[in-house]
């Protein structure tokens, strides 16, 4: 069997791109790889001397698209989706397995050849979402539904097409979905259990790493939240494969969910940001083994529910479960949902993170510059000095108690004050 490769996004490093491509050229000569497609923006290839000629000589199909000006999520959701969409569309064979990758943040290794030869196994489409073959991801977060590595993944082209979402709904209807989640949530977005969950979403443990144990304890005892997370584990068990190559030996069986969070081993890590990262399917198998047949069937039934879900009439017990957790652990804005007992139907939630690239909009420009600078600074500190920053206590308190209107006013009407606050009070250094 031969698979095809779709590389998406910027070149970033010509040397790294050519090194990566050489693997694909070698595998193509061995009959393991069919087409190689590079999907990027107009002008990107020509900004690297001699690159176009090399790609043409090596029979790499180049798809050059006008770069979108609308930016979502501060993480270029539309950019990633658009490059992926055109890359898949350019393949001649529309009935094959495909590797989606990018130049950076994804490496080639020999264990990938197992899936190149055999593909992935049949998915158990218990929720009726239409996925036929398992989608392979390199890692998945245990506590955050649909948060998987999106730099590189693998699956049948018909299933990968279901990941594409070129609309703004993930930004408008839900609270703070990461770009990775917008890929993998898309086929499951009509399932009520997860729609409900993402009206709030959870603060990432890295933001409150000093309260990891407390947060996990609350998740486990919170009926509504833990149900969504358990549902996520069953999605992983039936629709995904985590890790390249043959599945590793099963983890020693757990006796409780608490044990599963404490566990560190060959198939599940506790990362530097204190998050629980699943790196092999064997850990998922052990998780599912925690449940009796009756419990498992009950979870599968809850996940499969795709009846119309009214965000303007959330059951009181569910609303209180999420809202209580939000107030205790998060400085996120209010839910994009309303309790059934509330007569005022107001949807506020997170301010949408849209801006138009190259447009003379000072507020959008400042937002993009600040986010980009903070990300780069934090990444440099992580790599060079093993230093992490998280939100300070005063920042969490202010975000919890100040109204969204007040916060937006300070952001855009008092830029010097906001800049001073961001530099001196917003973040704390992790110990």
Quick one: pLDDT at residue 372?
A: 64
Supply the DSSP string of 206-267, one letter for each residue: GGGGGGHHHHHHHHHH-HHHHHHHHHHHHHHHHHEEESSSSPPPPPPPPSSHHHHHH--SSS
For residue 256, being part of any structural domain is answered with yes
In which domain, by residue range, is 395 found? 360-423
Hey, what are 134's tokens? 């398992």
**What are the φ and ψ backbone dihedral angles of 35, each rounded to 5 degrees?**
-90, 150
3-state helix vs strand vs coil in the chain, percent to 5: 45, 15, 40
Same domain, 388 and 263: no
Distance CA 180, CA 166 (A): 14
Quick one: pLDDT at residue 62?
A: 98
For residue 333, being part of any structural domain is answered with yes
- Of 356, 381, 408, the position where a domain reaches its end is 356
Q: Which of 265, 254, 239, 337 is nearest to 289 (CA)?
A: 254
Quick one: pLDDT at residue 252?
A: 72
Hey, what are 30's tokens? 């061995």
Same domain, 366 and 348: no
Same domain, 301 and 206: yes
Same domain, 254 and 399: no
**What are the φ and ψ backbone dihedral angles of 133, each rounded to 5 degrees?**
-120, 150
Question: Has this prediction a pTM greater than 0.85?
Answer: no
Same domain, 175 and 292: yes
> Scanning the structure block, which residue is given the tokens 């839900």?
174
Quick one: pLDDT at residue 241?
A: 98
Quick one: pLDDT at residue 343?
A: 82
Same domain, 276 and 302: yes
Same domain, 317 and 392: no
Same domain, 265 and 381: no
For residue 308, being part of any structural domain is answered with yes
Same domain, 187 and 314: yes
* Rg from Cα positions in the chain: 22
For residue 68, being part of any structural domain is answered with no
Mapping DSSP to helix (H, G, I), strand (E, B) and coil, where does residue 71 land? strand
Same domain, 269 and 187: yes
Task: Determine contact, residues 170/77, Cβ cutoff 8 Å.
Answer: yes
Quick one: pLDDT at residue 168?
A: 81
- Of 322, 339, 356, the position where a domain reaches its end is 356
Mapping DSSP to helix (H, G, I), strand (E, B) and coil, where does residue 165 land? coil
Same domain, 316 and 372: no
Name 97's bridge partners. 156
For residue 430, being part of any structural domain is answered with no
Q: What angle do CA 418, 419, 425 make, to 5 degrees?
A: 80
For residue 56, being part of any structural domain is answered with no
22: number of CA atoms within 13 Å, CB side?
6
Distance CA 74, CA 354 (A): 8
| Residue ranges for the chain with pLDDT beneath 70 | 71-75, 204-209, 251, 331-333, 350-391, 404-405, 408, 411-412, 415, 419, 423, 426-431
Quick one: pLDDT at residue 390?
A: 63
Tell me how many helices (H) and strands (E) the chain has: 18, 14
Same domain, 229 and 367: no
For residue 282, being part of any structural domain is answered with yes
Hey, what are 107's tokens? 């490496």
- Of 356, 390, 408, the position where a domain reaches its end is 356
For residue 326, being part of any structural domain is answered with yes
Q: How many domains does the chain have?
A: 2
Distance CA 377, CA 152 (A): 24
Quick one: pLDDT at residue 19?
A: 94
């Amino acid at each position: 069997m031969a698979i095809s490769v779709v590389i998406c996004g910027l070149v970033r490093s010509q040397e790294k791109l050519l090194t990566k491509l050489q693997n694909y050229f070698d595998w193509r000569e061995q009959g393991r790889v069919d087409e190689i497609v590079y999907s990027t923006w107009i002008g990107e290839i020509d900004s690297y001397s001699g690159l176009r000629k090399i790609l043409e000589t090596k029979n790499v199909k180049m798809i050059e698209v006008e770069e979108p000006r609308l930016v979502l999520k501060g993480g270029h959701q539309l950019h990633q989706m658009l490059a992926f969409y055109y890359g898949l569309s350019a393949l001649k064979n529309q009935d094959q397995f495909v590797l989606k990758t990018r130049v950076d943040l994804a490496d080639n290794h020999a264990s990938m050849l197992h899936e190149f030869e055999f593909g992935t196994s049949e998915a158990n489409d218990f929720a009726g979402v239409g996925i036929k073959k398992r989608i392979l991801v390199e890692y998945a977060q245990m506590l955050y539904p649909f948060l998987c590595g999106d730099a590189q993944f693998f699956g049948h082209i018909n299933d990968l097409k279901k990941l594409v979402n070129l609309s703004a709904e993930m930004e408008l209807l839900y609270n703070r979905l990461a770009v990775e989640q917008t890929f993998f949530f898309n086929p499951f977005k009509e399932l009520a259990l997860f729609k409900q969950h993402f009206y709030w979403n959870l603060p990432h443990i890295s933001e409150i790493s000093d309260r990891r144990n407390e947060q996990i304890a609350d998740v486990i005892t919170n009926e509504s939240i833990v149900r969504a997370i358990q549902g996520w584990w069953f999605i992983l068990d039936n629709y995904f494969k985590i890790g390249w190559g043959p599945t590793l030996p099963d983890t020693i069986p757990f006796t409780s969910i608490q044990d599963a969070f404490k566990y560190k081993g060959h198939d599940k890590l506790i990362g530097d940001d204190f998050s629980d990262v699943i790196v092999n399917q064997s850990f998922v198998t052990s998780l599912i083994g925690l449940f009796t047949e009756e419990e498992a069937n009950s979870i599968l039934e809850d996940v499969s529910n795709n009846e119309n879900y009214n965000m303007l009439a959330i059951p009181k017990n569910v609303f209180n479960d999420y809202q209580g957790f939000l107030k205790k652990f998060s400085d996120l804005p209010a839910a994009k949902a309303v309790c059934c007992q509330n007569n005022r139907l107001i949807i506020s939630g997170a301010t949408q993170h849209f801006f138009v690239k190259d447009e003379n909009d000072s507020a959008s420009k400042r937002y993009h510059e600040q986010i980009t600078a903070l990300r780069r600074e934090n990444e440099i500190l992580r790599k060079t000095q093993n230093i992490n920053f998280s939100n300070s206590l005063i920042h969490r308190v202010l975000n919890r108690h100040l109204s969204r209107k007040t916060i937006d006013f300070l952001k855009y009407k008092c830029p010097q004050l906001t800049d001073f606050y961001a530099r001196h009070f917003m973040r704390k250094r992790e110990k």
